[in-house]
Each structure stands twice: as C-alpha cells, then as structure tokens.
Amino acid sequence: AAEEGFDADEVAGALDEAGQGPLPVLAVIGRPNVGKSTLVNRILGRREAVVEDRPGVTRDRVTYEAEWAGRRFKLVDTGGWEQDVLGIDASVATQAEFAIEAADAVVFVVDAKVGATDTDEAVVKLLRKSGKPVVLCANKVDGPSGEADAAYLWSLGLGEPQPVSALHGRGTGDMLDEVLRVLPEAPADTFGAVLGGPRRVALIGRPNVGKSSLLNKVAGEDRVVVHDVAGTTRDPVDELIELGGRTWKFVDTAGIRRRVHLQEGADYYASLRTAAALEKAEVAVVLVDVSESISVQDLRIISMAVDAGRALVLAYNKWDTLDEERRFYLEREIERDLVQVQWAPRVNVSARTGRHMEKLVPAIETALAGWETRVPTGRLNSFLGEIVAAHPHPVRGGKQPRILFGTQAGTKPPRFVLFASGFLEAGYRRFVERRLREQFGFEGTPVHLSVRVRE
Ligand code: GDP
Ligand code: GDP
C-alpha cells in the first residue's frame, strides 16, 4: 500500500496501533499506605499524575493505559479507596476482590518495612482462590539494607518478593519485567474467545438508579438476592439471563447486589466496580434515573463506558414517575448534556412497572451490531473521496490538508485510520466522523478516528 507518499511499513504500523484489540489488565492492590499510588505514578512515568489527595475528594479515575518495554496494558489503581467506608479489613478485601476479578494479572504491594499483616494474609487467600498470576511487590525497600525485610515476605507463599522503592524507582524496572513475564498478551476473556457464547452486558449507573430492580425484573423476581451484609455473598459474580430468545451474561451482578457498599461516600468504590464491569462487558446499559436531574456522576459513568470503547445503550429508568413538567426538563437536559452520545439507542423504562422491558434487548442488539460494523475499504474510500470533493478542509497557511485515503483498522468499536497530506483540524475530524455515522450507521457505538500525516 505504497499510496500517495506513505510507505507500506508506515501504513502497516498505523493499522497495527489503531487496530489493537483489548489490552490486558494489571491491577495494583494492597493495604492503604503501602505505596500503591506511588507505584502507579512510577509506572505511568507521571505522564498522567494520580493526584487529588485532599481528604474528602474522591478520585474516580481508576484505569490508565501504561506501557513497559514496548508492551501496552491497562493499569487499575486501587489507591483511591476510602478506608473509612467499611472497616479496613473488609474494605481492602472487597476492593481487592473486585480488582482481582477484573484483572489478568495482579501486583500485590506489601510494605516491606511493616511486614506481612493479617490483612495481607487475607488478600493472599483471595489471590490464591482466583488463580490469577501475581507479582509480589515488597515496597519501601529504599536501599540495600531493606533487602532483608523483603526476603521475609517469602512467607506469604507468593513466590519471590520483588524489592522495590516506588518512591525512588529502585527495582521497579525488574519488577515490571517480572510482570510482563506473567501478564497474558491479551485479556483472558477476549471478545474473540467467546464467539458464539453469551454476549456480555454491564448494567451500570449511579447508586439508586434502579440497577438491581431492573436486573430483578429482567431475570425474574426471585433470581437476584440482595445481601445486606458485607462478605456474605459467595455467588458467582456474573449472571446468565435469558431474554428475547437468547442467553445474555450480565457481568458483575454481585456488585449490584452488594447494596451495603453503595452508601454515601462510596463513590470511588462505585467507580472501581463500574470499571471492572466495563472491562468484562461488550455492551454497557447505563441507567439514568429520570426522577432526578441528570448529574455529573451520570455523565461520568457514560464517559467511562465510551472511553472503555464499549457499545452503549441509555436506559432512562423510573419512567413511571414522570409528570409533564419533569418530562419537559428531562428532554432539555438530554439535549444539553448528552449530545455527545446522541448515537446511543435510548429506551424509556420502568423497572417498577415493567414498562418497555421488551425494548431493552433490541436496543442492545442494535448497539452490538454497530459496534461490530466493518466498512469495506472500497466503500470507505469512495465515501472519503466524495467528502474531500464536496467539503474540502479549509486552507491553512496557504496549504490545504487533504484526506488521501483511509481504512478501518478494527472493530469493537470501529476504528479508522485516515492518511492525510496535512494536519486535520479537530472540527474537520468531527465533521468526518459525523458523516461516517450518517453514511454507515454505527448506532450505539463509539467510533475512533486517528489521522496519520505525511511528513
Ligand atoms: P497507597 O495508599 O497504597 O496508594 O499509598 P501511597 O502511594 O499513597 O503511599 C503512602 C505513603 O508511603 C506516602 O507517604 C508515600 O510517599 C510513601 N511511600 C510510597 N512508596 C514508598 C517507598 O518506596 N519508600 C518510602 N520510603 N516511602 C514510600
Ligand atoms: P440500584 O442502587 O441502582 O441497584 O437501585 P435499586 O434497584 O436498589 O433502586 C433504588 C430505588 O429506586 C428503590 O427504592 C427502587 O424501588 C426504586 N426504583 C427502581 N426502579 C424504579 C422505577 O422504575 N420506578 C420507581 N418509581 N422506582 C424505582
């Protein structure tokens, strides 16, 4: 494809990068103050600072893209967990359980100066049960004299402790090499691996939007049991539910059930749970409670789904509560706040009365179809040719950047690479994306557009 000044390697490289499937997930877990956030910052090279350490300010970002030795992976940072929501042990265990569930490999951080505590031992049990690969990070080994402390951690039975100083960077490279040895190339549960298996749905939304009610409704009243006591739930976290003649896997429903954690102040926990569910799902059904104004938290959850590259359905729940006035304002709010996701199928439901439950499955199917759409290269390029002819990029500095050709690098969600003769402005990219959607649909899916410029 030595087309118009791009050599074949360049094109192949761009496609490789843009077409990469889901990345494996590495979770960093451990007790509070062992240095998880410091380590995450270190791994990210502080490119994306994990800050906001003022008490009371919850961090909701929990996953980051990281790279080591040319390999990319997702990093789940559990350092933001507020320890006062539950007792320390319960919170560490719950947080760890979720992070482990979502991860393909785990870095378990222990404070080598303190040594292994009972809480650490409890986490080790969870790790054993999970069977996931683990790298034991003996942190706060700031110098050679600390190595002996690290050696004590052999007692945890997780193999060789990696002596690290997250603060100074000592040993982190060796530890990451070890991580890459055990981290799978792709997530265990990749989309390809479940071809023909049940499609995976994440039911997400802020606390009290009606997630468990909706799950109850679709699964049949008795299928979902709400446990009010932390740690009493021992059920599998996913639930198979038959709907519309096929079986769906609702992922991470255990999280939905554990109502106790959804109390005030557990925002970070809720985010972690949402991220974990998204990690495992193909399509996200985001519930919005129409009895209240659309909130920043709703928008954040929708962004998380979009950023995770999942298909998206918006379910406006508690429709039974709407009066005319509230309905008027709701539509204004949607116009104002949700234009960015206009492409998501919308259903107006009531988990209480069962209203429009039958519309949920078709909406999910539409979104999944959009998510998997592949546009043949020929069609794409004749479409791009028309755009360039009818709506050329504005002239900048006496030059007119032009799209030369394009190709779809991947699906789930659709990812396109455009090759251009010059820098394409954001406005023009958005215009191209809009036209792509008009032409090819992509209902219910984010669309990624990257541009390569000929030097
Ligand atoms: P988290 O709660 O596990 O995320 O822990 P933090 O990353 O917030 O670190 C807790 C405290 O330990 C902070 O004061 C850090 O500066 C300190 N810390 C983290 N890593 C190291 C280390 O390698 N050596 C030393 N001496 N202190 C560290
Ligand atoms: P979750 O925290 O998202 O799982 O929310 P729940 O399912 O626990 O619901 C929170 C509250 O909203 C409960 O009191 C439900 O009875 C109520 N609720 C859920 N769905 C509806 C609905 O469609 N209409 C009305 N009026 N109330 C609802």
Interface confidence, given as ipTM, is 0.67
b/e burial code for range 295-333 (CB count within 10 A of at least 16 → b) = eebbbebbebbbebbbbbbbbbbbbeebeeeeeeebeeb
239-243 and 246-250 beta bridge pairing: antiparallel
- For ligand 1, atom 16: residue with the closest CA: 167
209 C-alpha to center of ligand 2: Å? 6
Ligand 2 contact, 255 CB (< 6 A): no
The residue to mutate among 204, 208, 357, having the most atoms of ligand 2 within 8 angstroms of its beta carbon, is 208
71: which strand partners?
68
Question: Would you state the structure tokens that stand for residue 334, as one six-digit string?
Answer: 């949607």
389 C-alpha to center of ligand 1: Å? 57
23 C-alpha to center of ligand 2: Å? 34
Q: Which residue type, as a one-letter code, is found at position 429?
A: R
Ligand 1 contact, 212 CB (< 6 A): no
- Ligand 2: nearest atom to the Cα of 349: 23
Ligand 2 contact, 271 CB (< 6 A): no
- Ligand 2: nearest atom to the Cα of 216: 7
The residue to mutate among 213, 258, 355, having the most atoms of ligand 2 within 8 angstroms of its beta carbon, is 213
The residue to mutate among 28, 33, 36, 51, having the most atoms of ligand 1 within 8 angstroms of its beta carbon, is 33
Handedness of CA 144, 146, 149, 150 (dihedral sign): negative
Phi/psi for 138 (5° steps) reads -90, 95
For the chain, the residue count is 455
- For ligand 1, atom 26: residue with the closest CA: 140
- For ligand 2, atom 11: residue with the closest CA: 208
- For ligand 1, atom 24: residue with the closest CA: 140
101 C-alpha to center of ligand 2: Å? 26
- Ligand 1: nearest atom to the Cα of 164: 23
3-state secondary structure of 139: strand
Ligand 2 contact, 198 CB (< 6 A): no
Ligand 2 contact, 211 CB (< 6 A): yes
Please state, in angstroms and rounded to a whole number, the distance separating the CA atoms of residues 90 and 262.
Answer: 14
Ligand 2 contact, 350 CB (< 6 A): yes
205 C-alpha to center of ligand 2: Å? 12
Tens digit of each residue's pLDDT (9 = 90 or more) over 104-144: 899 999 999 999 998 899 889 989 988 899 999 999 999 99
Ligand 2 contact, 213 CB (< 6 A): yes
- Ligand 2: nearest atom to the Cα of 259: 2
Q: Which ligand is closest to the CA of 33, given by its number?
A: 1
Please state, in angstroms and rounded to a whole number, the distance separating the CA atoms of residues 27 and 73.
Answer: 10
- For ligand 2, atom 6: residue with the closest CA: 210
347 C-alpha to center of ligand 1: Å? 46
Residues 6 or more apart whose Cβ sits within 8 Å of residue 43: 66, 68, 75, 172, 176
- Ligand 1: nearest atom to the Cα of 142: 24
Tens digit of each residue's pLDDT (9 = 90 or more) over 172-230: 999 999 999 999 887 655 444 445 578 899 999 988 899 989 988 887 754 544 333 33
Ligand 2 contact, 274 CB (< 6 A): no
**CA 129 vs CA 17, 132, 162, 222, 230: distances in Å:** 35, 8, 22, 28, 18
213 C-alpha to center of ligand 2: Å? 6
What is the full per-residue pLDDT of the chain (455 aa) written as tens digits? 445 566 667 666 666 666 566 788 899 998 888 998 899 989 988 544 444 333 333 344 567 888 898 888 988 877 654 444 445 556 666 667 777 877 889 999 999 999 999 889 988 998 998 889 999 999 999 999 999 999 999 999 999 999 999 999 999 999 999 999 999 887 655 444 445 578 899 999 988 899 989 988 887 754 544 333 333 333 356 778 888 888 888 887 766 655 444 444 456 667 777 888 888 899 999 999 999 999 998 999 999 999 999 999 999 999 999 999 999 999 999 999 999 999 999 999 999 999 999 999 999 999 999 999 999 888 999 999 999 999 999 998 888 899 988 888 888 999 998 888 888 999 999 999 999 999 999 999 999 998 888 76
Q: Which residue type, as a one-letter code, is found at position 205?
A: G
Q: Which ligand is closest to the CA of 168, given by its number?
A: 1
Q: Is 440 left (phi over 0), alpha (psi -120 to 50) or beta?
A: alpha
- Ligand 1: nearest atom to the Cα of 38: 7
**202: number of Cβ within 10 Å:** 28
Ligand 1 contact, 37 CB (< 6 A): yes
Ligand 1 contact, 166 CB (< 6 A): yes
